[in-house]
Chain A
């Protein structure tokens, strides 16, 4: 299994994907939460707008991204915008190199997920005691210092949970890869994260359940190790009494 180059390349694909998606989603959803939390006028409107894509499925997002925003033709939004600056159209999805498809996949997932994590950060921010901020104001701290020394440390539990969820969800990515990259019923040989690899190994023409299950066990072990190492998200053993 581990000697299978296709399996190893799926792990590499996951790592590359995680390196892009985890930090960007983290930063953007935290930024959105901070902006929304400090807004008084139309706060619930802005919160709803960022949260709304959560109701959208990956299939629908893939459709909009593939056929409208990043369609290779000039009437696609991205190429239309490039056209205003006199830049030639880019075939976003049909080339393996340069790998523009990463931009398509990462932005689709960002749009779908940022609202979810923003809600988690907002809940965390609202739990921070206002007296901490009052004390900081008396000490003359403002702006970045307040964020660095009060908000961020107070959000540690939320941040850990968000990072872990982001990592697990990136690991399970399937829907947007499948729907954005497969055309006319075939999936390209590259950009196959673990679940896409498993899908085609176990359920493709080979129907290799044994290999598929072995792969699943390895993936489960990796996830379990990550989860146990971080450990705290569910606070095992906390009976809450």
Chain B
């Protein structure tokens, strides 16, 4: 009797769980739906007092207008964002990867001190250092330059910390075999360790890319001239100034998230792993 009841009960909780999941999933998808819908609406339909579930007329000229409008530096800002995100991702992987490997494997008297120094900076939220960083970068004359946007983000303490933890767990025997075959630290790192760490590199790389593409405060502070705007700054400028058509603004936002949505579709596994590592500190 008790078993029968608990079976029926578990069926009910199963249904309740699925209903809750479906409702929550729909709520989470609504903003994406609104973004796509509004990107293809005509301006007068967006401003009308009636809510339209679908565009009365699918307006594709929003997309072409976006790249034709000289007031919106869309192509340039996309190019800037791409350049910054790619160089920063590659740079972080090389710099933090080498630093992490050195800290994990090369015996050096001060390596613990260096490691604790790097870890201590993790306690200081990066955004809080933005005023002194801004003063430093402006003294160097790097305001409104790609250098000023890229270089300060090339060293990341968290990535270095995670690489070190990861390399500590790398099987030492393989490296020792490479050493016996005459490879030094440099050769071992590039020819043995890196080719066998693909998943971890992909995980750190994807979350670095996402963070760089979506970064806002630093590009806002440094990118003063239009030529140095990233796509986030271009969007934000037109959003807060409300100086362009709203439908075009939605189209611009759609264009700005398409690269990341594609990345998400194909690389989700590595993004999930990257989030797990970055969130909990690499265990």
Interface of A is mostly: helix
For A220, list chain B residues within 8 Å (CB).
Answer: 124-125, 128-129
Q: Could you tell me if A51 and B272 are in contact, using CB atoms closer than 8 angstroms? A: yes
For A124, list chain B residues within 8 Å (CB).
Answer: 280
Contact of B253 among A60, A80, A174, A241 (CB under 8 A): A60
Q: Are A183 and B242 also in contact (CB < 8 A) when A35-B17, A57-B214, A172-B128 are?
A: yes
Q: How far is the CA of A123 from the CA of B277 in the complex (A)?
A: 10
Q: Could you tell me if B28 and A179 are in contact, using CB atoms closer than 8 angstroms? A: no
For B25, list chain A residues within 8 Å (CB).
Answer: 45-46, 49-50
**Residue A228 CB within 8 A of the other chain:** yes
Q: Could you tell me if A240 and B235 are in contact, using CB atoms closer than 8 angstroms? A: no
For B132, list chain A residues within 8 Å (CB).
Answer: 213, 216
Chain A positions 147 through 186: 1 when the CB is less than 8 Å from some CB of chain B, otherwise 0:
0000000000110011001001001101100110011110
Chain B positions 202 through 231: 1 when the CB is less than 8 Å from some CB of chain A, otherwise 0:
000000001001101100110000000000
**Residue A63 CB within 8 A of the other chain:** yes
Contact of A185 among B6, B128, B240 (CB under 8 A): B240
For B279, list chain A residues within 8 Å (CB).
Answer: 116-117, 119-120, 161-162, 165
Q: Chain B nearest CB: distance from A180 CB in Å?
A: 9
Q: Could you tell me if A174 and B217 are in contact, using CB atoms closer than 8 angstroms? A: yes
Q: How far is the CA of A227 from the CA of B137 in the complex (A)?
A: 28
Interface residues of B in 44-101 (CB under 8 A from A): 46-52
Chain A positions 128 through 160: 1 when the CB is less than 8 Å from some CB of chain B, otherwise 0:
000000000000001000000000000001100
Q: Are A46 and B127 also in contact (CB < 8 A) when A75-B50, A158-B280 are?
A: no
**Residue A104 CB within 8 A of the other chain:** no
Q: Could you tell me if A212 and B131 are in contact, using CB atoms closer than 8 angstroms? A: yes
**Residue A7 CB within 8 A of the other chain:** no
Q: How far is the CA of A220 from the CA of B165 in the complex (A)?
A: 26
- Most chain B beta-carbon neighbours within 10 Å: one of A65, A120, A123: A123
For A90, list chain B residues within 8 Å (CB).
Answer: none
**Residue A21 CB within 8 A of the other chain:** no
Q: Are A68 and B34 also in contact (CB < 8 A) when A55-B210, A158-B280, A161-B279 are?
A: yes
A176 nearest in chain B by CB position: B216
Q: Could you tell me if B51 and A195 are in contact, using CB atoms closer than 8 angstroms? A: no
Q: Are A64 and B31 also in contact (CB < 8 A) when A46-B21, A57-B214 are?
A: yes
Q: Chain A nearest CB: distance from B110 CB in Å?
A: 15
**Residue A22 CB within 8 A of the other chain:** no
Contact of A39 among B21, B34, B260 (CB under 8 A): B21
For A178, list chain B residues within 8 Å (CB).
Answer: 216, 220, 236, 240
Q: Could you tell me if A234 and B257 are in contact, using CB atoms closer than 8 angstroms? A: no
Q: How far is the CA of A75 from the CA of B50 in the complex (A)?
A: 5
For A51, list chain B residues within 8 Å (CB).
Answer: 268, 271-272
Interface of B is mostly: helix
- Most chain A beta-carbon neighbours within 10 Å: one of B47, B50, B123, B132: B123
Q: How far is the CA of A185 from the CA of B268 in the complex (A)?
A: 37
Q: How far is the CA of A198 from the CA of B172 in the complex (A)?
A: 48
Q: Chain A nearest CB: distance from B44 CB in Å?
A: 11
Q: How far is the CA of A161 from the CA of B281 in the complex (A)?
A: 9
Q: How far is the CA of A49 from the CA of B24 in the complex (A)?
A: 9
Q: Chain B nearest CB: distance from A70 CB in Å?
A: 11
Q: How far is the CA of A69 from the CA of B27 in the complex (A)?
A: 12
Q: B residues near A, CB below 8 A? A: 6, 17-18, 20-21, 24-25, 28-32, 34-35, 38, 46-52, 116, 119, 122-125, 127-132, 134-135, 161, 165, 168-169, 210, 213-214, 216-217, 220-221, 232, 235-236, 239-242, 246, 249-250, 253, 256-257, 260-261, 263-264, 268, 271-272, 275-276, 279-281
Other A-B pairs beyond A46-B25, A77-B34, A209-B135, 20, CB < 8 Å: A49-B29, A50-B28, A52-B28, A57-B213, A60-B35, A64-B34, A67-B38, A73-B49, A75-B49, A116-B275, A161-B281, A178-B220, A182-B240, A185-B240, A216-B129, A216-B130, A223-B125, A223-B128, A240-B165, A241-B168
24 A-B contact pairs sorted by A residue (CB < 8 Å): A45-B25, A48-B268, A50-B24, A50-B28, A51-B272, A53-B31, A55-B271, A58-B214, A59-B239, A59-B256, A63-B250, A64-B34, A68-B31, A74-B50, A75-B49, A75-B51, A76-B51, A178-B236, A182-B240, A185-B240, A202-B134, A216-B128, A216-B132, A236-B119
List 10 A-B pairs, minimum CB-CB distance, nearest first: A57-B214, A80-B51, A55-B260, A212-B131, A120-B279, A175-B216, A49-B25, A172-B127, A68-B34, A60-B253
